[in-house]
A and B are shown apart, each in its own frame.
Chain A
Amino acid sequence: MAAAAELTLLEKSLGLSKGNKYSAQGERQIPVLQTNNGPSLTGLTTIAAHLVKQANKEYLLGSTAEEKAIVQQWLEYRVTRVDGHSNKEDIRTLLKDLNSYLEDKVYLTGYNFTLADILLYYGLHRFIVSIVSFFSVMFRMIFL
């Protein structure tokens, strides 16, 4: 899924009515958002966090310092590891790690659903579908 489409989807699920237009930059098609009252914002997770604030749903970024840091950590994981994977072996390791991390958790921060869950879900969607052993994670994520 292209980043712009992903952000549009996110806007919808956040209940933002006025859709933004995104341009894409460079070979990796990094999304750029031109805001009305300031400089443009570049980068998937940066824009996503901005949209969350726009929708007044800051709780999706975590409530405590610890949660906030964890949310950002997984957002970074999404754009560096999930998007940056290079081969099957990497994907396997990545899914194994996530599975083991989530073994005793409902969501990435523990019990609270956050932006990290949404973006990781979007990011994994394309290669997770085929992997049955990962069904449990999918399940939790789909029935947010």
Chain B
Amino acid sequence: MRLFVSEGAPGSLPVLAAAGRAQGRAELLISTVGPEECVVPFLTRPKVPVLQLDSGNYLFSTSAICRYFFLLSGWEQDDLTNQWLEWEATELQPALSAALYYLVVQGKKGEDVLGPVRRALTHIDQSLSRRSCPFLAGETESLADVVLWGALYPLLQDPAYLPEELGALHSWFQTLSSQEPCQRAAETVLKQQGVLALRPYLQKQPQPGSFEGRAVSNEPEEEELATLSEEEITMAVTAWEKGLESLPPLRPQQNPVLPVPGERNVLITSALPYVNNVPHLGNIIGCVLSADVFARYSRLRQWNTLYLCGTDEYGTATETKAMEEGLTPQEICDKYHAIHANIYRWFNISFDIFGRTTTPQQTKITQDIFQRLLTRGFVLEDTVEQLRCERCARFLADRFVEGVCPFCGYEEARGDQCDKCGKLINAIELKKPQCKVCRSCPVVKSSRHLFLDLPKLEKRLEEWLGKTLPGSDWTPNARFIIRSWLRDGLKPRCITRDLKWGTPVPLEGFEDKVFYVWFDATIGYLSITANYTDQWERWWKNPEQVNLYQFMAKDNVPFHGLVFPCSALGAEDNYTLVSHLIATEYLNYEDGKFSKSRGVGVFGDMAQDTGIPADIWRFYLLYIRPEGQDSAFSWTDMLLKNNSELLNNLGNFINRAGMFVSKFFGGYVPEMVLTSDDRRLVAHVTLELQHYHQLLEKVRIREALRSILTISRHGNQYIQVNEAWKRIKGSEADRQRAGTVTGLAVNIAALLSVMLQPYMPTVSATIQAQLQLPLPACSILLTNFLCTLPAGHQIGTVSPLFQKLENDQIESLRQRFGGGQAQVPPMPAVVEAAATAAPRQVQVLMDEVARQGNIVRELKAQKADKNQVAAEVAKLLDLKKQLALAEGKPLETPKGKKKK
């Protein structure tokens, strides 16, 4: 037989390893062919590796070739191996090809590469650790191990892509990699060049496209019915029978909330949203909403909880915005702080404090930390070359300079980046630089600045991380980011800026400078707390008693995991440092990114105008929370999830359970006599509840939501199988059975209402009001499923919880938020910016542009006559021109590719 391989084809790895392991490579003739050569006569597209058998048949599947070698050596096929190989072909390969393509062909790094495969890696790790076997299909190494090892080796041989926390995967991979046949295969294929050896082959392959859709697919996790032991069932039923008695007394509400010695004190922060913009859905799920779920959960556990957030208000961006809108920075902050607060109120975010960073406390605490760093020798001084506008008498931040791009010659390049070629620019390299304010030409001047001496603090940081990370719930991406920063070595970071809008630097010679937001924004948490209580130090200088959870999107990790800890460690004042850093990936919008300037995506203030209740938004955003990998907001998916999960699953179950009590039992919960099936159900629900707790304790918010839906699915099945609505009309025994089923179902509904509270607080309260759930049961969630609605309990009026979302409704929303907004700026801010025309006139024109835009779209959709379309388009362009004039804006030609 003859094996055809190609230089750098990843499939060669498992095939050569399998040949070496099972069959001996001696009998194998190996031919190397080009990556585009068609070896198999009946296949249109090239495929390697291929094994041509002596019979003339071809094996063109990598797994089938490996299997063949193993079969020749006398191995017998089994279900588990088949399952692994099927999973490898259908799940792992698509993810892996995408990751390898990003890494090798597109040169991406870090999470971009790891993101697509993380879930698959976790699956392997969990299977290995759950079965506590060293190998995938048993005690000895076999076909499944070789095939998966070979597939994964190119990626995992770089330790950066073998996540540390996946311990079982780690040791499995190391064991296999150290074996002789595998080692030899690796040497032959990768030739000591690492993954780059695959480039010549992968470059010739089409980009794996189909994975994009899967990477962001929001599919539910596995739902496996566990087998239960008799003891587990008995324990669950005993707990259930105890009912309300087992609930501890409610914690009295404190004001202010302060840490209590001997209790679990949970301090939760959400990244401070930057004040000058309206947050979009991605910002909301990234920190504020995620932290809210955890805060609500923490309170349900009766943990002593303080949840705080606020707007981050200092910095260049605020100054720019102020200039654009013709207001002072303070006025801008006041205005946008209120906008933020309103949005979060609408989303039902349960802050204990929603503060701001522009307060005297901020100045006091920041300056104190700075003084301490200064006296301890952790602050350096250096000069930096910067552009200075002599006419405005100030140094220009990057955003205040425009000029000609030194790379592509684009006329309106910004001081930090060129919009045309996308390259990063150092402001002093701009040709013909101009001050954006007065249009005069700035000069290069050197300016003295202060630097935080991170290299000097690196050792302390590593010591602290060494103590904090193991066993903590830092998300993998946060660990990865911190690790890569440390690997590259820390450099001194500039902590001052030539600005006015900021915390003043208390040092001679720096009177006209402020701290860079990057240094003082994270101190905002402390000052916001200090504005809430003068005893703020009991939270922030109390690492022994306080558990600090910080929520953010991954771009914020370096500031929270590195810079602030360095400042705090250097200040030597016993600060509370982050125990659990919870970072999300990014949320995309439909197929692209949210973009304020292009008007793409849903922003916080618009969500309210869609007519969709806040809880539905919360549910869907949490359902697709970018946990572990990027995800995407999709209107169609939102409709689907609302109609299937909320309406048909959860809503249907809770409503039926309540309706049965009202309709068949006059509103009183009937007697329950549990059969063995019912006892089993109680145990299953208990198990799922415990799973929910385990996940939320680890802040796996998205996954825990699945547990709620799983329980309600069990509930629906239970009602369906037991046909309570039929039995109620039957014999005495049947009636009793109907009673038990109804009673158990309505108790499951009560449990669901509490589990749902962190996710959908309003719906939760509605259910609890409908069921008249006793107060302590509403506010406390134990780890056991209790009978909280005993026989004889009277429930209230039951009504449906959710509404169906219709296709045309969603379609019109999709169009509204799909990018046309760029022409119809929805922000009042823009309207106010219009200096040359009355806002009313602008509004009228905007409406006309929108109307005309619809006419054009409709005509195009109907494939109308070209001349007719052209005429309407001309009208539209004319209207846009008028609008631009009215707004006092220069006429713009559309930039870049615009998505429809």
Q: Are A79 and B72 in contact (CB under 8 A)?
A: no
State whether the Cβ of B217 lies closer than 8 Å to any Cβ in chain A: yes
> Which residues in window 54-77 of B have CB below 8 A to A?
55, 57, 59-61, 63-65, 67-68, 71-72, 77
10 closest cross-chain pairs (CB), A and B: A73-B64, A27-B219, A65-B71, A69-B68, A43-B86, A101-B42, A26-B219, A100-B42, A46-B83, A73-B61
Q: In the assembled complex, how far is the CB of residue B48 from the closest CB belonging to chain A, in whole angstroms? A: 15
Q: Could you pull out 20 A-B pairs where Cβ atoms are within 8 angstroms? A: A26-B220, A30-B90, A41-B83, A43-B87, A46-B83, A49-B79, A49-B82, A50-B79, A61-B77, A65-B71, A66-B57, A68-B67, A68-B71, A69-B64, A69-B67, A72-B61, A72-B77, A76-B61, A76-B64, A76-B86
Contact of A93 among B45, B55, B82, B210 (CB under 8 A): B45
* A interface footprint on B206-229 (CB within 8 Å = 1, 0 otherwise): 000110000001111011110000
**Is the C-beta of B53 less than 8 angstroms from some C-beta in chain A?**
yes
Q: Which of B41, B44, B59, B217 has a CB less than 8 Å from the CB of A73?
A: B59
A72–B67 CB distance below 8 A: yes
B210 and A86 form a contact (CB under 8 A):
yes
Q: Does A25 contact B222, Cβ atoms closer than 8 Å?
A: yes
Determine how close the nearest CB of chain B comes to the CB of A49; give it in whole angstroms: 5
Q: Of A32, A46, A84, A103, which one neighbours B86 at CB under 8 angstroms?
A: A46
B733 at interface by CB-CB < 8 Å:
no
B55 A34 Cβ-Cβ under 8 A: no
Which of A32, A34, A66, A93 has the largest number of chain B CB atoms within 10 A? A66
The distance in angstroms between the C-alpha atoms of A26 and B220, with both chains bound, is: 5
Say whether B43 faces chain A, with CB atoms less than 8 Å apart.
yes
Number of A-B pairs whose CB atoms are under 8 Å?
Answer: 99
Residue pair B223, A97 in contact (C-beta under 8 Å): no
Also in contact, A66 and B82, with CB within 8 A (given A26-B219, A42-B87, A101-B42): no
Taking each of A32, A41, A76, A77, which has the highest tally of chain B beta carbons within 10 Å of its own beta carbon? A76
Question: Is the CB–CB distance between B44 and A93 below 8 Å?
Answer: yes
Question: Is B89 on the interface with A (CB-CB < 8 A)?
Answer: yes
Instruction: Compute how far the CA of A69 lies from the CA of B72 in the bound complex, rounded to whole angstroms.
Output: 10
Does any Cβ of A come within 8 Å of B85's Cβ? yes
Q: How many residues of B contact A (CB 8 A)?
A: 38
When the two chains form their complex, are residues B82 and A46 in contact, meaning their CB atoms are under 8 A apart? yes
A70 within 8 A of partner (CB):
yes
Report A143 CB to chain B, min CB distance, Å. Answer: 23
In the complex the two chains form, what is the Cα distance from A44 to B79 in whole Å?
Answer: 12
Contact call B87/A77, Cβ cutoff below 8 A: no
Query: Once the chains are docked, how many angstroms separate the CA of A42 from the CA of B63?
Result: 18
Contact bitstring B83-99, A, C-beta under 8 A = 1, else 0: 10111011001000000
Question: How near does chain B come to A30, taking the closest CB pair, in angstroms?
Answer: 8
Closest to A77 in B: B61
- What is the CA–CA distance of A96 and B64 in the complex, to the nearest angstrom? 22
Q: Complex Cα distance A76/B82, Å?
A: 10
Beyond the given pairs A66-B57, A70-B59, A80-B89, 4 more chain A to chain B contacts, judged by CB atoms under 8 angstroms and listed by A's residue number, are A27-B219, A41-B83, A49-B79, A73-B61
Contact A76 B85 (CB under 8 A): yes
Question: In the complex, which residues of chain A have a beta carbon less than 8 angstroms from the beta carbon of B86?
Answer: 42-46, 75-76, 79
Chain A residues in 8 Å Cβ range of B219 = 26-28
- The distance in angstroms between the C-alpha atoms of A68 and B65, with both chains bound, is 11
Write the nearest CB–CB distance from B216 to chain A, whole angstroms: 11
Tell me how many residues of A have a C-beta within 8 Å of chain B.
Answer: 39
Among A25, A61, A65, the residue within 8 A (CB) of B72 is A65
Q: Does A23 contact B (CB under 8 A)?
A: yes
* Contacting residues, chain B, for A13 (C-beta < 8 A): none
CB distance from B38 to the nearest CB of A (A): 11
B79 touches A41 (CB 8 A): yes
Q: In the assembled complex, which residues on chain B have CB atoms less than 8 Å from the CB atom of A65?
A: 68, 71-72
Within 8 A of A (CB), among B25-61: 41-45, 53, 55, 57, 59-61
Binding site for B on A (CB under 8 A): 23, 25-28, 30, 32, 34, 40-46, 49-50, 61, 65-66, 68-70, 72-73, 75-77, 79-80, 84, 86, 93, 96-97, 100-101, 103, 110
Q: Is the CB of A73 within 8 A of B60?
A: yes
Q: How far is the CB of B710 from chain A (nearest CB, A)?
A: 12
CB distance from B825 to the nearest CB of A (A): 36
User: Measured between alpha carbons, how far is A28 from B210 in the docked complex, in Å?
Assistant: 13
Query: Known: A68-B71, A96-B44. Is A76-B63 also a contact (CB below 8 A)?
Result: yes
B63–A72 contact, CB under 8 A? yes
- CB atoms of B57 and A97 under 8 A apart: no
- A76-B61 Cα distance, complex, nearest whole Å: 8
Contact B223 A43 (CB under 8 A): no
Of all chain B residues, the one with the shortest Cβ separation from A73 is: B64
- The residues of B that contact A28 with a CB separation of less than 8 Å are 219
Contacts of A50 in B (CB 8 A): 79, 82
Q: Which residues of B contact A45 (CB under 8 A)?
A: 82, 86
Contact present for B71 and A25 (CB under 8 Å): no
Which residue of A has the minimal Cβ distance to B55?
A66
Residue of B64, B68, B72 ringed by the most chain A CB atoms within 10 A: B64
Measured CB to CB, the closest approach of chain A to B522, in angstroms, equals 39
Distance of A22 Cα from B549 Cα, bound (Å): 41
A43–B42 Cα distance when bound, in Å, is: 28
Q: How far is the CA of A84 from the CA of B72 in the complex (A)?
A: 30
B101: shortest Cβ distance to chain A, in Å? 17
Residues of A within 8 A of B82 (CB): 43, 45-46, 49-50, 72
A59 to chain B, nearest CB (A): 13
* B93 contacts across to A, CB distance below 8 A: 80
Chain A residues with CB below 8 A from B87, complex form:
42-43
Distance A99 CA – B61 CA, assembled complex (angstroms): 18
- Complex Cα spacing A69 to B93, Å: 19
In the complex, what distance in Å separates the CA atom of A86 from the CA atom of B71?
A: 33
Select which of A69, A84, A100, A110 is within 8 A of B65 by beta carbon.
A69
B89 contacts which chain A residues (CB < 8 A)?
A: 76, 79-80
B55 engages A72 (CB within 8 Å): no
Q: Nearest chain-A residue to B63 (Cβ)?
A: A76
Residue on B with the closest CB to A35?
Answer: B79
Q: How far is the CB of A11 from chain B (nearest CB, A)?
A: 16
Contacts of A43 in B (CB 8 A): 82-83, 86-87, 90
Instruction: Report A134 CB to chain B, min CB distance, Å.
Output: 15
**Nearest CB on B from A27, distance (A):** 4
- Beyond A26-B220, A43-B87, is A66–B53 a contact (Cβ under 8 Å)? yes
| In the bound complex, CA of A93 to CA of B44 (Å) | 7
Q: How far is the CA of A85 from the CA of B71 in the complex (A)?
A: 30
For A80, the closest partner residue in chain B by CB is: B89
**CB nearest to A83 among chain B residues:** B90
Give Cα A41–Cα B593 distance, bound, in whole angstroms. 39
